[in-house]
Structure 1
Amino acid sequence: MALGYLALVLHAHLPFVRHPERQDYVLEEEWLYEAITETYIPLLQKLSKLKQDGVEFKLTMSLTPPLIAMLKDEYLQDEYDEYLAKLRELTQKEIERYSDQDHLHYLADYYDREFASIAQTWEEYDRDLVAAFKQFQDSNNLEIITCGATHGFLPLMQMYPEAVYAQIQVACEDYAQHFNVAPRGIWLPECGYYGGLEKTIAQAGLRYFMIDAHGITNARPQPKWGTYTPIFTETGVAVFGRDNESSQQVWSADVGYPGDGNYREFYRDLGWDADYEYIKPYIMPNGERKNVGIKYHKITSRQASSNEKQHYDPYWATEKAAEHAGNFLYNRSLQVKHLAQVMHRKPIVVSPYDAELYGHWWYEGPQFLDFLFRKTWFDQDTVAMTHIADYLKENDTQQLAKPAASSWGYLGFNQYWLNETNNWIYPHLHDITEKMITLAGRDAEDELEKRALNQAARELLLAQSSDWAFIMRTGTMVPYAIKRTKTHLLRFNRLYEEILANKIDAGWLTKVETIDNIFPELDYRVYKKHEKGKG
């Protein structure tokens, strides 16, 4: 019998990026296509094979509402078809180009077979990856949880309880529409928590959420077992803390597995290496180079310059992924054995990560997970894999405590989303939030006004996405993040003025509804001031 539990939690999220209105090329749409190719389909392939081989894996995974909306969107599905077809065309040219260079020919052929497999899986699931993940929830191998409606950073909107409630309630309603059940857990956007948030979470019918370790270790009273058991809040909602030890082995830029020299180098790509005229049809239409997703080099060493990177070998990278999975499990076994002796109860080690780390940033990540699930199932009996919902069923008595304000961002609080690079957005967000709360008290006079009110709510939600503030802070794709923020602010304010003036431009409204088509069932009255305990 196992001495303790390991709960892997993957947070699958991308901001809502969809531009059918633009005739020109939109680089940011490729965030989704890259994630489908490198993370979501490879994960599904591994989960399917595990199930086929009788491995009863357990995994918790968030699918955020913006990601679900994009994965279900026919326009984006069609665009992905074109993206993948072009990638496969390029690999065919690469095979021919390197016909006389054994290792590069081998790598080009490797990519050709991989992309063919991706295309086959894409078609087998009829282009519906949400339904593909759902099948594993239906078999109780996967626990799919929700997130904020548009990944809004909740601590910075706590002065407007209606806005926090809308972010959570809209997400729960959207989840139920896609999975035919209510969600049991929520990944707080950026793991951002403030005191009292659990009341809104409980009001939405959710059972648990996760925060960073210091949100648990600084709780009051201080939890006896730290992050190795959840705490219960006065609302009955359970709170799980991230385990720093297991996280560091994967996340750390200094000692984490993804930095091993045998793994594929992310930052060296054919789109930048190839002769310009040769690669021109596969980069941006304006002629600017970009990553194309074919990478021939390995990390080699942390000290190696880009020109010193050696050629990648998938065989040895796979061997290293197996080795690292074994090391990870070995360390979790030691950790659980020690904790079980001290605690005299079964500890739970919660290891949350961005899903896109596995495959997109760390190419071998899905292989690592596959080996880890298999080794856990076949090679030991110290650690049992669990997902959070199953753990709570078996462990329904925990210490009562109040979590501490926290996030998993830089320095552990709110700095990454509120600083000199992005603080200009918040007066505008507060202004339109107050306006939306006022609009929510209106009774729409006709269907046109109702549509405008609903669209105003969508524009507010989209403007609140934490991704835009995050991007402004990172310094990459900043013009796009600024443009998106300003676009949603302007659209909201135009709708607000037209609603008050009773002069709604039906043609323009239809155009905006077509572009920002997230949450088709949204009811603007979700922002209406509600009595305590009632929606």
Structure 2
Amino acid sequence: MAIGYVALVLHAHLPFVRHPESDYVLEEEWLYEAITETYIPLLQVFEGLKQDGIDFKITMSMTPPLVSMLQDPLLQERYDHHLAMLEELVELEVEHNAQNGHIRYLAEHYASEFNKARQLWERYDGDLVTAFKQFQDSNNLEIITCGATHGYLPLMKMYPQAVWAQIQVACEHYEQTFGRAPRGIWLPECAYYEGLERMLADAGLRYFLTDGHGILYARPRPRFGSYAPIFTETGVAAFGRDHESSQQVWSSEVGYPGAAEYREFYKDLGWEADYEYIKPYIMPNGQRKNTGIKYHKITGRGLGLSDKALYDPYWAREKAAEHAGNFMYNRERQVEHLHDIMHRPPIIVSPYDAELFGHWWYEGPWFIDYLFRKSWYDQGTYQMTHLADYLVANPTQQICQPSQSSWGYKGFHEYWLNETNAWIYPHLHKAAERMIELSRREPADELEWRALNQAAREVLLAQSSDWAFIMRTGTMVPYAVRRTRSHLMRFNKLYEDINIGKIDSGWLEKVESMDNIFPKVNYRVYRPL
């Protein structure tokens, strides 16, 4: 009989990137890469487990921006073209490397993988949200929500209406998508501040996730640390991240993804191939980019890219199985140790970005597959669970006040508020003030109603924590700056036009077609609480 629980939690999120005004924008490929390398492989894993009678349990956030993009006909059409280009390139690679045995073997591997992706894509008619929903309907997958646009909530807490809009719009969008209210929420960046749980309760949410120190430093100090959820006074539960299991997978120094046998992310055909050969498959302006076809393995620490050896999926899969067994073994020992101390079943919550599995760590979906299979057949110490099932089975927990926290650098807020991105917040705050002001209006006609709702969309999109994050990381900064400014400028124009009673209907229609997230949003969500 199991004496503890292990809960794998995946955070599936991408910022809302959709540019119908352009034929090609590189940043749209963030979605296409994630579909090919993460979301489709995860669905393949879930289908295989279900087919083999393994009653797996996993929790997964699907953020409103991601769901909106996955359901968007324009992006579905563009992804279909993206996948077709990959299929064409890899078939060319198979022919081009007819005399190069190992490279041909790898090209055939990718050809097989892209073919399987095509089959799944067409089987669901491009609707991956419905594909994931079927596993929620069978209670294998618990899908939770997030902030409407992944806004960093602690940095907008001086405007409770703005925080409420992020939560309520997300919950409404979830219900429109999945046919029921969400039970849990992945707080954007796992960022929590004291009092937030009251809004979560008002929105009907049952639980949220925070980093481990959000639980460890709670008041009073939780008796079981982060190995049991705590209940806030509102009745909303808080689950804390387990650092030990997280580090084993996530750490760039000691984590599994750094193994020599695994695929090297930074050595890609798009940068390696002859320019004239690869030109039809890179950016329209002729700049090179990643294709997702990678022929080399990590090989060893400290090596330059020129020293990387050729990759072999067979041995990489073997290593993924070994690592899954190691993860299982460590969780067994951890559960046994904790159970002896706690005298009750502990829960080990292991949350990760979903895109780690497949995109950054190519073998990650194999690891998940092996982990569920080994946990099902090879041990009886712990039970794999998702968070909703755990709360049903364990309805009594200690009442505490969680501590302010995030899962970012140093555990608090400085990754999203520093010298690289601090300039955005006065503008975001002013926009929130103006949106709260607009929320009190009663529209004179349908045009003003549309303008008010579009103003709400623009504020939400400007608030995405992804833009501040990108500014801090130093990659794709011009795009993040441009997106922040464009949403703020569109909002300010709407605000001014609404107030003077002269709304440019043609311009509004254009903006509605570009920033079409949350088609059923109601601007009154910003009304004073």
Deviates more, 1:285-294 or 1:456-465: 285-294
Q: Distance in 2 between matches of 1:37 and 1:360?
A: 8
Residue 313 of structure 1 pairs with residue 307 of structure 2: no
* 3-state SS of paired residue (2:106): helix
Q: Distance in 1 between matches of 2:251 and 2:497?
A: 50
Residue 500 of structure 1 pairs with residue 527 of structure 2: no
Q: Distance in 2 between matches of 1:304 and 1:420?
A: 33
The gaps in structure 1 that reach 5 residues or longer are 531-535
In the alignment, what sits opposite 1:373? 372
In the alignment, what sits opposite 1:533? none
Letter in 1 for 2:22: R
Q: Superposition pairs for residues 277-426 of structure 1, below 5 Å?
A: 277-426=276-425
Q: Distance in 2 between matches of 1:478 and 1:339?
A: 44
Residue 73 of structure 1 pairs with residue 65 of structure 2: no
Q: Distance in 2 between matches of 1:365 and 1:108?
A: 20
Residue 440 of structure 1 pairs with residue 439 of structure 2: yes
In the alignment, what sits opposite 1:236? 235
Q: Distance in 2 between matches of 1:22 and 1:119?
A: 25
Cα deviation 1:75-126 (Å, max 9, x = unaligned): 0000001100001100011001110011001001111111011001000011
Using the TM superposition, give the Cα deviation of residue 302 of structure 1 relative to its aligned residue in structure 2, in angstroms: 1.2
Using the TM superposition, give the Cα deviation of residue 529 of structure 1 relative to its aligned residue in structure 2, in angstroms: 0.8
Using the TM superposition, give the Cα deviation of residue 22 of structure 1 relative to its aligned residue in structure 2, in angstroms: 1.7
The list of structure 1 runs, each at least 4 consecutive aligned residues, that deviate by more than 6 angstroms after superposition, is none
In the alignment, what sits opposite 1:194? 193
Using the TM superposition, give the Cα deviation of residue 305 of structure 1 relative to its aligned residue in structure 2, in angstroms: 0.9
Q: Superposition pairs for residues 136-151 of structure 1, below 5 Å?
A: 136-151=135-150
Q: Superposition pairs for residues 112-123 of structure 1, below 5 Å?
A: 112-123=111-122
Using the TM superposition, give the Cα deviation of residue 286 of structure 1 relative to its aligned residue in structure 2, in angstroms: 1.1
In the alignment, what sits opposite 2:91? 92
In the alignment, what sits opposite 2:6? 6
Q: Distance in 2 between matches of 1:276 and 1:65?
A: 39
Letter in 1 for 2:311: Y
* 3-state SS of paired residue (2:5): strand
Q: Distance in 2 between matches of 1:109 and 1:251?
A: 30
Letter in 2 for 1:12: A
In the alignment, what sits opposite 1:454? 453
Q: Distance in 1 between matches of 2:274 and 2:382?
A: 51
Using the TM superposition, give the Cα deviation of residue 285 of structure 1 relative to its aligned residue in structure 2, in angstroms: 1.1
Q: Distance in 1 between matches of 2:112 and 2:153?
A: 43
| TM-score (structure 2 length as normaliser) | 1.00
Using the TM superposition, give the Cα deviation of residue 308 of structure 1 relative to its aligned residue in structure 2, in angstroms: 0.5
Q: Distance in 2 between matches of 1:296 and 1:252?
A: 24
Q: Distance in 1 between matches of 2:115 and 2:393?
A: 43
Cα deviation 1:408-447 (Å, max 9, x = unaligned): 0000000000000000000000001000000000011111
Q: Distance in 2 between matches of 1:252 and 1:118?
A: 29
Cα deviation 1:189-228 (Å, max 9, x = unaligned): 0000001000011110000001001111111100011000
Letter in 1 for 2:2: A
In the alignment, what sits opposite 1:477? 476
Using the TM superposition, give the Cα deviation of residue 304 of structure 1 relative to its aligned residue in structure 2, in angstroms: 1.4
In the alignment, what sits opposite 2:131? 132
Using the TM superposition, give the Cα deviation of residue 296 of structure 1 relative to its aligned residue in structure 2, in angstroms: 0.1
Letter in 2 for 1:28: E
Q: Distance in 2 between matches of 1:30 and 1:408?
A: 26
Cα RMSD of the aligned pairs, angstroms, is 0.5
Using the TM superposition, give the Cα deviation of residue 496 of structure 1 relative to its aligned residue in structure 2, in angstroms: 0.2
* 3-state SS of paired residue (1:352): strand
In the alignment, what sits opposite 1:519? 518
Q: Distance in 1 between matches of 2:250 and 2:110?
A: 26
Overall identity of the aligned pairs, in %: 71
The gaps in structure 2 that reach 5 residues or longer are none
Using the TM superposition, give the Cα deviation of residue 290 of structure 1 relative to its aligned residue in structure 2, in angstroms: 0.5
* 3-state SS of paired residue (1:205): coil
Cα deviation 1:206-264 (Å, max 9, x = unaligned): 00001001111111100011000000000000000000000000011110000000000
Cα deviation 1:305-359 (Å, max 9, x = unaligned): 1000000000000000000000000000000011111111000000000000000
In the alignment, what sits opposite 2:20? 20
In the alignment, what sits opposite 1:429? 428
